[in-house]
């Protein structure tokens, strides 16, 4: 644990000249070295593949996969080299002392290179994930445009499948980092009273691996696309064109990043909590990050192993998933969904944490059932590993196993229901302030409830037979993830971005964004339950003409939903780039620790490590201290909690 008397370097670091910044390690050189790395490794892979073909003449192996996979891994090495990630181990081998202030200065360039300030890394994460979120949303607009006709008109079937795969994979991979990346990295150290993350360079590495994963996934369009959707099912993955290699490497990068960021957060919370920050005083958002990190550390390695097995099937003729050679495509289903269903809660748990953190602030009441909320999160994390085979109800699963997985799938609704009770208990008889963050949190409960209730139909074998593979599943999933996580993330952005950037966010535009997004989200996805029950299949661009009118309506609503996101983007540009109105230190009158320090937050976070004297949810309670910075800090914290 850090000492309260730990000295702090208040200087931000001297900013090198523009030419020095340009010639130093940064994203420009990372792109250049990534391209060179791909070319060199692809050439080497081509030579290796040609030699194998000449010596063994393998019948079914596409030797281009060796070149492409090696090329993609070469681009990873070049990317890291250009960003300067190899500098530290080289310096250590040369006997030079390490520094925890690499890339930390006041220049704008720190956002375009390796930086060990957790707040800079968080902002890099935020910009990157929002960029890929909008790219994935644009793909969704293409998909809905195609579905305005009952026959394929804009995209051939193969290109349509690639659109569906890019949309789903990018949304899932980027949203895995959508909360734990920007908000987790920015908030966790400050919320526990620390000046940094436990492993600052690993923190920066996870961000840049995530960015590279997004661009590698987009490169699939240059390599022929992939027909598997976001699930990468065998044997399609073994038979697919070279674009599937980009999918495999991209997902692998995300898996590695998830493991590393999970370890970093767990070690940070365990070892760097401020004096007095006991486990029962830990903010609920930090508990959400802890449980999410546990899931990431345990589940993502299984995905990485499965991805490696597909790569070896495609490149060196192993037969893990090739049934004609003794393998089993069902093995992929087992491995993928053992990761895939915990992945759903890697997305959902951060949403729970955001909502339960914000509700007490605008209800002006303590968080109801704090310990029950923590137990609910751990219950969800535990049960998420016991339900994956409900994805295999229609894939030949042993019939005797179906009742068990039906039971565990429905049982997970109990810890989830506890979290709902925490929210409703906090709102009971509260004096609610309907700010933009609060509106998004309230919408979270509405949307997630519909997603949860519709999930009951998919957990039961008899109804899953009817709804499996239909738009009913897609509607359920979007209500759970977009209606849950994305709405919670938007609430978190509107709530914490003034502290993160130092500038206020326009509330009028924020409310316009909320109402358009909420209304058109429901008008887009609720009709898809009906479409699914009427037999509308997923991942096809041609469908029964009787569903044409319904699909046209859904597409129009989806376009309006897309426009609502442009309102959000316009609000960010107006508030953070054009108007730039300074935010106060604590505009929401919150009692949590991050709001008790200056805005903008200094690079060292705390001039003196605080002593925590209470939990951050004592709203309306007399004599409820939270933190002691000394006499001046304690008074400020008390005023903030009034």
Mode of pairing for the β-strands spanning 627-628 and 611-612: antiparallel
Angle of CA points 316, 319, 321, to nearest 5°: 125
Q: Is residue 296 pLDDT above 50, yes or no?
A: yes
Beta bridge partners of 611: 628
pLDDT value at residue 324: 86
Q: Dmax of the chain from CA atoms? A: 81
> pLDDT-based confidence at 103, cuts 50/70/90?
low
Residues 330-349 have a mean pLDDT of 93
Three-state DSSP string of 545-558: HHHHHHHHHHHHHH
> pLDDT-based confidence at 18, cuts 50/70/90?
low
pTM score above 0.75: yes
- Residues of the chain with pLDDT > 70: what percent? 90
Q: Is residue 483 pLDDT above 90, yes or no?
A: yes
**Token pair of 531 as six digits:** 């479409």
pLDDT top residue among 200 and 7: 200
Residues 83-106 have a mean pLDDT of 78
Where in the chain do CATH 1.20.210.10 domains reside?
116-640
Helix (H), strand (E) counts: the chain: 22, 2
pLDDT value at residue 158: 79
pLDDT value at residue 304: 95
pLDDT value at residue 489: 95
Contacts 24+ apart (CB under 8 A), 147-150: 147/541, 147/543, 147/551, 147/554, 147/555, 148/551, 148/552, 148/555, 149/548, 150/542, 150/543, 150/544, 150/545, 150/547, 150/548, 150/551
Question: Phi and psi (nearest 5°) for 503?
Answer: -125, 145
**Alpha-carbon Rg of the chain, whole angstroms?**
25
3-class secondary structure, 627: strand
Report the C-alpha gap between 173 and 397 in whole angstroms: 27
Residues 27-47 have a mean pLDDT of 93
Strands annotated E in 195-313: none
Q: Whole-number mean pLDDT of the chain?
A: 89
Give kind and range of the element (H or E) at residue 628: strand 627-628
Signed CA dihedral, 422, 424, 430, 431: sign only: positive
Residues 125-145 have a mean pLDDT of 95
Give kind and range of the element (H or E) at residue 80: helix 64-83
Segment 234-244, tens digit of pLDDT: 889 988 989 99
Question: Phi and psi (nearest 5°) for 628?
Answer: -120, 110
Residues 551-575 have a mean pLDDT of 96
Three-state DSSP string of 412-428: CHHHHHHHHHHHHHHHC
CA distances from 241 to 216, 228, 247, 265 (A): 15, 11, 11, 38
Residue 585 CB-density burial (10 A; 0-12 exposed, 13-18 middle, 19+ buried): middle
Contacts 24+ apart (CB under 8 A), 520-525: 520/557, 520/558, 520/560, 520/561, 520/564, 521/447, 521/482, 521/483, 521/561, 522/447, 523/557, 523/560, 524/554, 524/557, 524/558, 524/561, 525/475, 525/478, 525/479, 525/482, 525/483
pLDDT value at residue 155: 85
Report the C-alpha gap between 65 and 113 in whole angstroms: 31
How would DSSP label each residue in 392-403?
A: GTTTT--GGGHH
Segment 484-543, tens digit of pLDDT: 999 999 999 999 999 999 999 999 999 999 999 999 999 999 999 999 999 999 988 899
Segment 352-405, tens digit of pLDDT: 999 999 999 999 999 999 999 999 999 999 999 999 999 998 887 888 889 999
Segment 152-194, tens digit of pLDDT: 788 887 789 999 999 999 999 888 888 899 999 999 999 999 9
Residues 100-115 have a mean pLDDT of 77
pLDDT value at residue 632: 40
Cα dihedral 603, 608, 613, 616, rounded to 10, equals -10
Query: Using an 8 Å Cβ cutoff, are 441 and 413 in contact?
Result: no
Report the C-alpha gap between 93 and 240 in whole angstroms: 44
> pLDDT-based confidence at 110, cuts 50/70/90?
confident
pLDDT value at residue 2: 38
pLDDT value at residue 50: 76
> pLDDT-based confidence at 273, cuts 50/70/90?
very high
**Token pair of 256 as six digits:** 């590695």
> What is the CATH code of the structural domain delimited by 116-640?
1.20.210.10
Q: Which residues, other chains included, contact 351 with Cβ-Cβ below 8 Å and sequence gap of 6+?
A: 179, 444, 448, 484, 485, 487, 488, 489
Among 265, 286, 193, 118, which Cα is nearest to 637's?
193
> pLDDT-based confidence at 16, cuts 50/70/90?
low
């Amino acid at each position: 644990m850090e000492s309260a008397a730990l000295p702090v370097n208040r200087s931000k670091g001297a900013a090198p000249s523009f030419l020095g910044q340009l010639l130093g390690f940064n994203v420009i050189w990372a792109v250049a070295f990534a391209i060179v790395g791909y070319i060199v490794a692809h050439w080497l892979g081509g030579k290796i593949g040609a030699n194998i073909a000449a010596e063994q003449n393998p019948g079914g192996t596409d030797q281009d996969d060796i070149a492409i996979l090696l090329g993609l891994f070469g681009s990873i090495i070049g990317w890291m080299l250009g960003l300067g990630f190899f500098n530290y181990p080289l310096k250590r081998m040369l006997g030079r002392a390490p520094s925890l202030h690499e890339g930390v200065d006041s220049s704008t360039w720190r956002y375009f290179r390796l930086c060990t300030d957790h707040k800079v890394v968080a902002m890099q994460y935020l910009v990157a994930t929002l960029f890929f979120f909008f790219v994935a949303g644009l793909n969704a607009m293409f998909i809905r445009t195609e579905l305005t006709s009952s026959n394929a008109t804009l995209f051939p079937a193969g290109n349509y499948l690639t659109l569906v795969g890019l949309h789903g994979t990018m949304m899932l991979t980027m949203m895995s980092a959508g909360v734990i990346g920007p908000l987790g990295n920015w908030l966790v150290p400050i919320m526990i009273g620390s000046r940094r993350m436990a492993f600052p360079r690993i923190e920066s590495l996870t961000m840049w691996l995530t960015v590279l994963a997004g661009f590698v996934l987009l490169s699939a369009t240059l390599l022929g696309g992939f027909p598997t959707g976001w699930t990468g099912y065998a044997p399609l993955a073994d038979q697919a064109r070279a674009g599937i290699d980009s999918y495999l490497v991209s997902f692998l990068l995300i898996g590695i990043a998830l493991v590393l960021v999970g370890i970093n957060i767990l070690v940070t919370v365990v070892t760097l909590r401020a004096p007095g920050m006991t486990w029962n005083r830990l903010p609920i958002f930090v508990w959400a990050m802890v449980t999410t990190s546990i899931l990431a550390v345990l589940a993502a390695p299984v995905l990485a192993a499965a991805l490696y097995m597909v790569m070896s099937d495609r490149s060196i003729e192993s037969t893990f998933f090739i049934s004609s050679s003794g393998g089993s495509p069902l093995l992929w289903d087992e491995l993928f969904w053992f990761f895939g269903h915990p992945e759903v809660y890697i997305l959902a748990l951060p949403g729970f944490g955001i909502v339960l953190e914000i509700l007490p602030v605008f209800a002006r009441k303590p968080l109801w059932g704090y310990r029950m909320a923590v137990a609910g999160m751990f219950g969800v994390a535990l049960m998420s590993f016991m339900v994956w085979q409900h994805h295999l109800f229609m894939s030949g699963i042993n019939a005797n196993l179906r009742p068990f997985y039906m039971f565990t799938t429905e049982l997970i609704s109990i810890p989830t229901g506890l979290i709902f009770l925490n929210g409703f208990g906090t709102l009971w008889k509260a004096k609610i302030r309907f700010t933009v963050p609060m509106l998004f949190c309230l919408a979270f409960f509405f949307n997630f409830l519909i997603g949860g209730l519709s999930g009951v139909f998919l957990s039961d074998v008899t109804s899953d037979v009817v709804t499996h593979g239909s738009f009913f599943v897609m509607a359920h999933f979007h209500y759970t993830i977009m209606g849950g996580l994305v709405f919670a993330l938007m609430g978190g952005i509107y709530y914490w971005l003034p502290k993160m950037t130092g500038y206020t966010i326009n509330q009028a535009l924020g409310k316009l964004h909320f109402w358009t997004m909420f209304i058109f989200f429901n008008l887009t996805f609720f009709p898809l339950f009906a479409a699914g029950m009427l037999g509308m299949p997923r991942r096809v661009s041609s469908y029964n003409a009787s569903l044409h009118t319904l699909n046209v309506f859904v597409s129009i609503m989806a376009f309006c939903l897309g426009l609502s996101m442009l309102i959000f983007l316009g609000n960010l540009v107006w508030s953070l780039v054009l108007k730039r109105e300074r935010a106060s230190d604590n505009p929401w009158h919150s009692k949590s620790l991050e709001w008790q320090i200056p805005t903008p937050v200094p690079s060292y976070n705390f001039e003196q490590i605080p002593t925590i004297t209470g939990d951050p949810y004592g709203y309306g309670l007399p004599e409820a201290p939270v933190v002691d910075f000394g006499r001046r800090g304690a008074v400020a914290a008390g005023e903030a909690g009034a």
